[in-house]
Amino acid sequence: MIDNTDTADSADHQPEDGEKFRKVIRKVEIRIPEAKTPERLDVFLARQVSELTRAKAQAAINQGAVTVDGMAVKTSHKVRPGQLIKLEVLSLPPLELEPEEIPLDVVWEDRWLVVVNKPAGMVVHPAAGNRSGTLVNALLGHYGDLADSDDPDRPGIVHRLDKETSGLIVICKREPALSKLAEQFRKRTVKREYHAVVWWQMPKRKGSIDEPIGRDPRDRKKYIVRRDGKPSITHWEVMERFEYLSYLALHLGTGRTHQIRVHMSHEGHPVFGDPDYSGRNRQLGRLTSGQRKQVAGYFERINRQMLHARTLGFKHPVTRRELFFESELPEDFAWLLGELRGDERERKETGG
């Protein structure tokens, strides 16, 4: 696959009158390998191009932004060996984003970037059901403007954290920071470490999970391990073991949506407190009555998954300076570890 990431001028794409605001963000060329079995074009593009869902792939095909051997085709076209697919990734229609006065924990900033310690419960960017109160709304309230993105709901955004995941995130104030930093994320040169408390003791000290991830056909808001999903790799290492929980450090080999939560759940070790991926009540049946009472006490204080983006390191996209940041564990996470360590000491002292 040849991925030409240079930004093109809007003259490279001649839109309809109602689409004159759109421009080509990048161009992608894919030569279908000889061993490839026939597959629908929209399905194939959604697997091959990181920012495309199947719906976005269908929209691009219908808008004429995709050609196969130089010709426009339908979404149902079956790709075959030797064909050359060309795709223009277009910007989306601009929407109104409201600046809001929301407090932010700014870890570091300069004229190009800002690194924020995001609290659990804050959505990164506006979307259906979350048009306000997001990190983007807060940043616009602080800075007035952010770097343009191919998605107008995500100005300045080059990576995301789930709503209930806390920790470090970097946002771009202006170009060329966004395009150059996005390239580092695409090449997986950004250093990120996550900390998590997961259910049950891990079978060994460290390991990797290499399982493809795709959308759950039963719930489009969730993801599962599936054979036709996108390649996904998560590396984990045990830092502490408790009676029925483990404290892990995790590193991403890829950056899929919900990746850590999906992979850990698939391995039978869902993130503690995660209601979407079997990390809350579905594990209680394996506990003793005393352990269930203990967990109920934890859940009274904790209402989210115990996942925290602890460290973030990258090369400054403009100055080329190496940057590294570390975030303290938030109060609820630190409290849980303190309780677990105390319970573990008491269990060993009493021989329980």
What mean pLDDT do residues 26-52 have?
Answer: 87
Instruction: Say what percent of the chain tops pLDDT 90.
Output: 71
Residue 349, pLDDT > 50, answer yes
pLDDT at residue 201 greater than cutoff 60: yes
- Which of 65, 90, 115 delimits the end of a domain? 90
pLDDT of residue 19: 45
Q: Is 105 helix (H, G, I), strand (E, B) or coil?
A: coil
Q: Is the pLDDT of residue 10 over 80?
A: no
From 186, 209, 234, give the residue that closes a domain.
Answer: 186
pLDDT of residue 15: 37
Rg of the Cα atoms in the chain: 22
Q: Are residues 182 and 278 in the same domain?
A: no
* Per-residue confidence band for 7, with pLDDT thresholds at 50, 70 and 90: very low
What 3-state class would DSSP assign to 249? strand
Can you give the pLDDT at residue 93?
57
The answer on pLDDT for 111 being more than 90 is: yes
Above 50 in pLDDT, residue 212?
Answer: yes
Answer with the residue of higher pLDDT: 23 or 295.
Answer: 295
Give the best-scoring range by mean pLDDT among 62-66, 85-89, 248-252: 248-252
Q: Where are the beta strands (DSSP E) in the chain?
A: 2-4, 24-31, 39-40, 66-68, 78-79, 84-90, 106-109, 113-118, 166-172, 191-199, 206-210, 213-216, 219-225, 233-241, 245-252, 307-315, 322-326
Least confident of 55-69, 118-132, 334-348: 118-132
**The pLDDT of residue 255 is above 70:** yes
* 18: DSSP letter: G
Q: In the chain, which ranges are continuous DSSP H helix? A: 41-48, 54-62, 135-143, 177-186, 259-266, 289-301, 331-350
CATH number of the CATH domain containing 14: 3.10.290.10
Q: What is the pLDDT of residue 59?
A: 86
- Each residue's pLDDT tens digit, 258-268: 999 999 999 99
CATH of the domain at 159: 3.30.2350.10
**pLDDT band for position 48 (cuts 50, 70, 90):** confident
Number of domains forming the structure of the chain:
3
CA distances from 56 to 114, 124, 195, 341 (A): 29, 20, 32, 47
Q: Which of 34, 59, 90 is the last residue of a domain?
A: 90
Residue 20 pLDDT more than 90? no
**Is the same domain home to 198 and 346?**
yes
Does position 352 have pLDDT exceeding 90, yes or no?
no
> Are 206 and 299 found together in one domain?
yes
300 has a pLDDT exceeding 90: yes
Does residue 209 lie in a domain region? Answer: yes
The yes-or-no verdict on residue 11 having pLDDT over 60 is: no
Distance between CA 257 and CA 206 in Å, rounded?
23
pLDDT above 80: residue 5: no
Range of the domain at 116: 94-186
pLDDT at 1: 33
Q: Is there a single domain that holds both residue 217 and residue 240?
A: yes
Higher confidence at residue 151 or residue 323?
323
Domain shared by 199 and 341, yes or no: yes
Helix (H, G, I), strand (E, B) or coil at 254: coil
Please choose, from the candidates 278, 282, 267, 195, the residue with its C-alpha nearest in 3D space to the C-alpha of residue 232.
Answer: 267
Triad 259, 262, 267: Cα angle to 5°: 120
Residue 79 covered by a domain: yes
Mean pLDDT over all residues of the chain? 88
- Give me the residues paired with residue 170 across strands: 115
Annotation marks residue 162 as catalytic: yes
From the candidates 42, 150, 153, 162, give the one annotated as an active-site residue. 162
Q: Are 151 and 122 in contact (CB under 8 A)?
A: no
14 pLDDT band, cuts 50/70/90, is very low
Residues 339, 203, single domain; the answer is yes
- Residue 52's pLDDT is 78
Query: Looking at the chain, how many residues does it have?
Result: 352
SS3 call for 220: strand
For residue 84, pLDDT over 70 is answered with yes
